């Protein structure tokens, strides 16, 4: 029985309006009515992605596109920047696609150091770098602009940047920074239900893809491009979430993108202040702390599982008790989506109310 | 502006109740609340698929699973049974996955002849056969039981059967007929919006998959199995459509599966009667005509595009004007999903009303 509000780092709380938009009528995906919906989203998406390249709609989770990017873009060797659960997994996924791949690995909570990346790329071994901008498992945001500066010195190396939990939270100027593939999902800061991934591909990445064998069909970037030119998707798309996307994009531009970024920064600061006030610490260095969620180090050794359970059952608020190997050693609070200072302060007050029981 | 009712062969008309089910709250897909939803669907799905094997939920269109099956199950050579737009494409998709593949090809509208399949398999060249049970582009239903009888004599050859537009329309006893992979999509006879594929995999297909390199992650059958054992999906699932699936499964079992099959057969007969009464013909032989949709041969040389457009604009009913190379030479009428004799008779009356204008 879902009688609680989601403050986990995705899926996050979905607004009534967004839910209602899912019930708009479906249509044939080769019909002019679908093309109209696609085109209306496209204009707004290119603006939000800060790109002149097409923005594609993939009926999948982000992992589908993350795998697809590796299949489309590498034939030499992939360098996977690893700093948490999701970025770590990308190495395994690359190998499972039959691609040679190496790790540039740091401890969970640490960031990818642009200088170390530089040394790795200087070997000339790689043709693709994978990076998770905002490691959701650790609440850590990599220094993307500095990383892209390094990559700009290696024109033969393409970049795939997962912005699943940072997209629309902070400014990520795709074209200006020279990102080749940027991808995100519907259920994080866009605050839609899961089931739709969004991604944008650079011209030179299309050129590379054309030369790569074994791309398949479902995630083939060239198929996406060919269909995009007709205002369509290669395969039958998840129309309810595309209706939802259109609704959400209109809301984002009503609020204003700049204002949205500021709001997320402010709400994130409220959570950080609570963390300090209680004597907790952040898992990552403050400088690299995510703006979309907070990963709290359990330095006070509270009963995280009990705290999370009681908050959900008594207060009807759901935060996360830590991911994978740092479960219980951390807990995570999302400020993504439609949150306000009222809703975040309410959450923090309710947490305050029960915290003493678990210390 | 979607002010018309869908009678195209998918997506089909979605009921108010099914739309409303999409707005049920999302939850974390690693939470007990998700496991509960998954398990509730699973019991009903295994009954509907007539299988003891797990039934998986893939956040993709059916093409994702169709590609996945080839990547998971073939290392020797795929034999693609080709009899229409979708089955033809499977050959191309197989090759794009880097798999050697041959065609067993018949004219659009014709069926796959079990004897010809037998001859092909007798060469010993193949380890996988792909077949579209009900070719949506041609309204033709292959003689699946006879085809499975042939396949039963080649235990080293696995079968992938696309039942996208026949699942829940006719009885397809997966285990009894020895189907290795059966797959379908949400937007055809299940009458949900698109975005979710369902598939079930046999024990020996899992065994084969374990030996195949390059399966990747997103459509890896072994990942689906591992997660299934926990009541979960490998990647973040399209939760609104899983809520919708649960709603729909309950409705199907309320009606009764047998009754559902009979209803579809009766509605299909109403359309066939109309076809004969007007002097049209079916594209396929009557014996192999689909029970879920009718592909009408335009032997009277009507203006199909004008007929379809006027029906949609004046009568607010959308049928299909033919697919691919038989566009205009055929038109298609779906009786899938929640249709009744009232709704089908209404459609036929409205078609009658305008047809003389296009003859």
Residue A260 CA to residue A171 CA, distance in Å, equals 10
pLDDT in tens, A319-346: 999 999 999 999 999 999 999 999 999 9
- Identify the band that residue A17 occupies on the pLDDT scale cut at 50, 70 and 90: very high
Same domain, yes or no: B157 and B208: yes
Complex ipTM value: 0.98
pLDDT in tens, B121-180: 999 999 999 999 999 999 999 999 999 999 999 999 999 999 999 999 999 999 999 999
The per-residue b/e assignment along B159-187, b for 16 or more CB within 10 angstroms, e otherwise, is: bbbbbbbbbbbbebebeebbbbbbbbbbb
User: What is the average pLDDT across B20-44?
Assistant: 98
Contact assignment for B11 to A26 by CB distance below 8 Å: yes
Chain B neighbors of A71, CB-CB under 8 A: 216
pLDDT in tens, A135-182: 999 999 999 999 999 999 999 999 999 999 999 999 999 999 999 999
Residue B1: what pLDDT?
Answer: 80
- Which of the listed residues A228, A253, A278 is the one where a domain comes to its end? A253
pLDDT in tens, A224-245: 999 999 999 999 999 999 999 9
| Closest residue to A195, CB basis, from B8, B68, B241 | B241
| Helix A341-354 / helix A257-278 crossing angle, nearest 10 deg | 20
Q: Are A164 and A195 contacting, i.e. CB atoms less than 8 angstroms apart? A: no
Q: Which residue of B has its CA nearest to A217?
A: B93
Residue B9 CA to residue B291 CA, distance in Å, equals 12
- Best mutation target among B64, B88, B191 (most A Cβ atoms within 10 Å) is B64
Residue A126 CA to residue A85 CA, distance in Å, equals 22
Q: Are B291 and B264 contacting, i.e. CB atoms less than 8 angstroms apart? A: yes
Chain A neighbors of B23, CB-CB under 8 A: 19-20, 22-23
| Closest residue to B23, CB basis, from A19, A25, A92 | A19
- Which of the listed residues A191, A224, A253 is the one where a domain comes to its end? A253
Tell me the average pLDDT of chain B: 98
Contact assignment for A28 to B318 by CB distance below 8 Å: yes
| Closest residue to B61, CB basis, from A26, A194, A236 | A236
The C-alpha of B180 sits at a distance from chain A's nearest C-alpha, in angstroms, of: 22
Same domain, yes or no: A49 and A157: yes
Same domain, yes or no: B51 and B133: yes
- Which of the listed residues B253, B273, B294 is the one where a domain comes to its end? B253
Same domain, yes or no: B79 and B100: yes
User: What is the average pLDDT across B16-44?
Assistant: 98
Q: Where are the beta strands (DSSP E) in A89-207?
A: 101-105, 128-132, 134-135, 140-141, 158-162, 181-185, 197-201
Chain A neighbors of B196, CB-CB under 8 A: 195, 238
Same domain, yes or no: A185 and A65: yes
Residue B112 CA to residue B132 CA, distance in Å, equals 10
Contact assignment for B320 to A8 by CB distance below 8 Å: no
Same domain, yes or no: B34 and B121: yes
Question: Counting one residue from A and one from B, how many pairs have CB atoms under 8 Å apart?
Answer: 187
Same domain, yes or no: A247 and A137: yes
Domain count of chain B? 2
Which CATH number characterizes residue A88's domain?
A: 3.40.640.10
Which CATH number characterizes residue A341's domain?
A: 3.90.1150.10
pLDDT in tens, B76-124: 999 999 999 999 999 999 999 999 999 999 999 999 999 999 999 999 9
Domain containing residue B159 = 16-253
Same domain, yes or no: B284 and B222: no
Same domain, yes or no: B135 and B176: yes
Same domain, yes or no: A244 and A267: no
% pLDDT > 70, chain A: 100
Same domain, yes or no: A310 and A268: yes
User: What is the average pLDDT across B39-60?
Assistant: 98
| Closest residue to B8, CB basis, from A28, A96, A218 | A28
Same domain, yes or no: A171 and A300: no
pLDDT in tens, A244-297: 999 999 999 999 999 999 999 999 999 999 999 999 999 999 999 999 999 999
C-beta neighbour count of B279 within 10 angstroms: 9
């Amino acid at each position: 029985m879902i009688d609680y509000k989601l403050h986990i780092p995705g899926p996050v709380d979905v607004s009534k309006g967004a839910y209602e938009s899912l019930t708009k009528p479906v249509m044939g995906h080769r019909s002019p009515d679908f093309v109209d919906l696609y085109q209306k989203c496209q204009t707004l998406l290119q603006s939000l992605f800060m790109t002149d390249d097409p923005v594609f709609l993939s009926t999948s989770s982000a992992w589908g596109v993350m795998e697809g990017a590796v299949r489309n873009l590498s034939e030499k060797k992939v360098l996977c920047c690893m700093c948490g659960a999701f970025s770590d997994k990308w190495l395994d996924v690359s190998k499972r696609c039959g691609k040679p791949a190496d790790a540039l690995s740091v401890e969970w909570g640490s960031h990818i150091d642009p200088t170390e990346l530089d040394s790795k790329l200087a070997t000339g071994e790689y043709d693709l770098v994978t990076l998770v901008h905002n490691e959701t498992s650790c609440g850590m945001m990599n220094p993307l602009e500095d990383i892209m500066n390094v990559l700009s010195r290696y024109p033969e190396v393409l970049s795939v940047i997962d912005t699943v939990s940072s997209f629309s939270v902070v400014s990520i100027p795709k074209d200006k920074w020279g990102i080749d593939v940027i991808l995100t999902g519907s259920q994080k800061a866009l605050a839609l239900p899961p089931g739709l991934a969004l991604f944008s591909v650079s011209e030179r990445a299309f050129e590379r893809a054309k030369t790569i064998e074994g791309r398949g069909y479902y995630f083939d970037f060239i198929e996406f491009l060919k269909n995009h030119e007709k205002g369509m998707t290669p395969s039958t798309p998840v129309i309810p979430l595309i209706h939802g996307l259109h609704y959400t994009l209109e809301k984002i531009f009503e609020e204003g993108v700049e204002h949205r970024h500021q709001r997320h920064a402010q709400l994130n600061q409220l959570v950080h202040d609570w963390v300090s006030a209680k004597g907790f610490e952040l898992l990552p260095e403050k400088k690299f702390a995510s703006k979309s969620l907070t990963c709290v180090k359990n330095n006070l050794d509270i009963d995280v599982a009990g705290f999370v359970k009681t908050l959900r059952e008594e207060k009807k608020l759901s935060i996360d008790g830590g991911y994978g190997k740092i479960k219980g050693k951390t807990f995570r609070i999302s400020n993504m989506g439609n949150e306000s200072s009222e809703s975040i302060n309410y959450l923090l007050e309710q947490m305050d109310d029960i915290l003493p029981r678990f210390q």
